[in-house]
Amino acid sequence: MKSKQKFKETEIGKTPEEWEIRSVKDIAEVFLGGTPKTNVKEYWNGKIKWASARDVSNCNSRYIYETEKTITEEGIRNSAAKILPKDTVVITSRGTVGKLVLLPESMSFNQTCYGLKAKEEINPLFLYYKLKSLVINLKSISYGTVFSTITMRTFDELKIAIPPLTEEQNTIANILSKLDDKIELNQQMNKTLEAIGQAIFKHWFVDFEFPNENDKPYKSSGGEMVYNEDLGEEIPRGWRVGYLGDNILTTISKPGIDKFEGEKIYLDTSSVQNSTIINLDNKITFKQRPSRANMQPRPKTVWFAKMKESKKILFFDDYSKYGLNNFVLSTGFAGLDVKDYALCYVLSFILRDRFEIEKDNLCHGTTMQAINNENIMRIRILIPHKGILEKFDPLVKNIYEKISQYWVQNIILSQIRDSLLPKLMSGKIRVLLR
């Protein structure tokens, strides 16, 4: 890489001498999405994925693979919706404004999003990262407000500097892509590890095939089962039913944080998607922090979002050094302090979809429904023999420890990517071309 380059003064500041100043509309075709009539059933549940701003905002990788709704070709023909090709950049114009994704296949989207199809001389990934660098810069100088809304005029007025050589664009995009490739691989590994942990949990505590005293599967080897009226099903003899927070396996974490120097990362519920941390940008000090930044992560704790229809889960153990030292959590999370031998059991229980259903059924409120501590203590949890939990915990602890390690790797990789992004995109760091 070259450290010294010739720069020129332009309308957007200093740029490399040979880079061109162009508007976004000069380098990409811009399309506004559309919505077929919602009351015409023939327009919906087709084969074409149809993204909303919510879908885009909830996506935690470069590419959006899942959408809440799909539409039909007839829906496309009879609306302003369009099908745009693979590698189109989609940006939200409402809701969480300025969130970016790439299409991994031909897809459609609604009017809360714009699609930007890179022109022939522009690398689509370079366009994605260029726009991403602008969103980061705008956030840093506007106190969290990127645009009140994005319009077609925005893309006319937004001027950017780009290298004219496609080869340089490709090299820049490749450097940043390799970091995102690793981040996304780690995310996929965590999904796989979580699925393995859930499979072991089901085998032991749903199918009741934990190893008996002879290392044989308990239920299928004739282990004694008794009917439990609370659960409406048979459970192993000697097991019982308890409740979250009843001090048998868990107690409810109390608010309050330890005093700290410098900055920490504030994780509110919007910073987490399922069991993945998606935003590390909220930095706080002890003296200047939101009133909701008042929950302290500790070893042997599990956290979940209180809000209805909001699956957001965190956990911490003695191996979670980065999170324990650097995170402050929102009071939008409910925390459970867990007995030493039961962390993996309780975490696996909380990660199940069945827990989310039971939690949602206990949420209440007029505007934003959420669960309170009283109702958390109405959530039933099976209490196995302590000896079974002491066998289960070390069996799956390495799985959750690995998940935590991938979390930290992704934090570091994200920080490297985000530090390189504005420098590569402004030409402050240049790449050598052969």
H/E run at residue 136 = helix 124-141
Q: Which residue blocks in 260-385 are alpha helix, DSSP H?
A: 321-326, 343-351, 353-361, 373-376
Q: Looking at residues 253-263, what average pLDDT do you find?
A: 96
Q: Is the pLDDT of residue 12 over 70?
A: yes
pLDDT at 57: 87
Tell me how many degrees the CA angle 151-277-347 measures, rounded to the nearest 5. Answer: 140
In sequence order, what DSSP letters do the residues of 326-338 get, joined into one string? HEEEETTEEEEEE
- Give the full edge-to-edge strand order of the sheet including 333-338: 250-252, 333-338, 301-305, 313-316
Name the pLDDT band for 140 (thresholds 50, 70, 90).
very low
DSSP annotation of 17 reads T
Label residue 207 by pLDDT band (50, 70, 90): very high
pLDDT at 315: 97
Q: Which pLDDT score, from 0 to 100, does residue 172 have?
A: 96
Q: For residues 110-119, give the mean pLDDT.
A: 95
Does 164 or 331 have the greater pLDDT score?
Answer: 331
Query: Of 278 and 254, which is predicted with more confidence?
Result: 254
At 407 the pLDDT is 92
Arithmetic mean of pLDDT, 309-327: 96
pTM given for the model: 0.87
Domain limits, the chain: 11-164, 199-385
Determine the Cα–Cα distance for residues 204 and 198; give it in Å rounded to an integer.
Answer: 10
Task: With a cut of 80, say whether residue 391 has pLDDT above it.
Answer: yes
Residue 432 pLDDT class (50, 70, 90 cuts): low
Please, what's the b/e burial string for 212-243 (b: 16 or more CB within 10 A of its CB; e: otherwise)?
eeeeebbeeeebeeeebeeeeeebbeebeebb
What ranges in 142-270 are assigned the alpha helix state H?
Answer: 152-157, 166-205
- Which top CATH class is 11-164? alpha beta
Mean pLDDT computed over every residue of the chain: 92
Q: What is the pLDDT of residues 156-200, one digit of tens each?
A: 888 999 998 889 999 999 999 999 999 999 999 999 999 999 999
Confidence at residue 58, expressed as pLDDT on a 0 to 100 scale? 85
In the predicted structure, residue 369 carries a pLDDT above the cut 60: yes
- State the Cα torsion 177-179-181-185 to the nearest 10°: -170
| Tokens at 21, concatenated | 């100043």
- Please list the residues that pair with 265 across neighbouring strands: 283, 327
Tokens of 75: 């829906």
pLDDT one-digit tens code per residue, 63-86: 999 999 999 999 999 999 999 999
For residue 117, which of 167, 72, 109 has the smallest C-alpha distance? 109
Euclidean distance between CA atoms 30 and 117, whole angstroms: 7
- Predicted confidence (pLDDT) per residue in 283-316, tens digit: 999 999 999 999 999 999 999 999 999 999 999 9
Say if residue 231's pLDDT is above 80: yes
User: Residue 90 belongs to what H/E stretch?
Assistant: strand 89-92
* Beta partners for residue 101, in sequence order: 90
CA dihedral 139, 140, 145, 149 (to 10 degrees): -40
Q: Where is average pLDDT lowest: 41-50, 150-159, 263-272?
A: 150-159
Q: Residue range 11-37: average pLDDT? A: 94
User: pLDDT tens-digit profile of 237-252?
Assistant: 999 999 999 999 999 9
192 contact partners, CB below 8 Å, separation of at least 6: none
Kindly report the backbone phi and psi dihedral angles of residue 332, in degrees, each rounded to the nearest multiple of 5, phi listed first.
Answer: -70, -10
pLDDT band for position 137 (cuts 50, 70, 90): very low
Mean pLDDT on 269-292: 93
CB contact at 8 A, 427 and 19: yes
138 pLDDT tier (thresholds 50, 70, 90): very low
State the number of CA atoms in the 13 A half-sphere of 279 facing the CB: 20
Tell whether the model's pLDDT for residue 223 goes beyond 60. Answer: yes
Length of the chain measured in residues: 434
pLDDT of residue 143: 35
Is residue 32 over pLDDT 90? yes
Topology alike, domains 11-164 and 199-385? yes
Spatial separation of the C-alpha atoms in residues 167 and 171, rounded to whole Å: 6
Predicted confidence at residue 171, as pLDDT, reads 95
Give how far Cα 226 sits from Cα of 2, 222, 235, 384, Å: 73, 12, 6, 13
Correct CATH for 199-385 of 3.90.220.20, 3.40.50.1820, 3.90.230.10, 3.40.50.300 = 3.90.220.20
Specify the pLDDT at position 141. Answer: 36
Q: Which of 152-156, 196-200, 416-420 has the lowest mean pLDDT?
A: 152-156
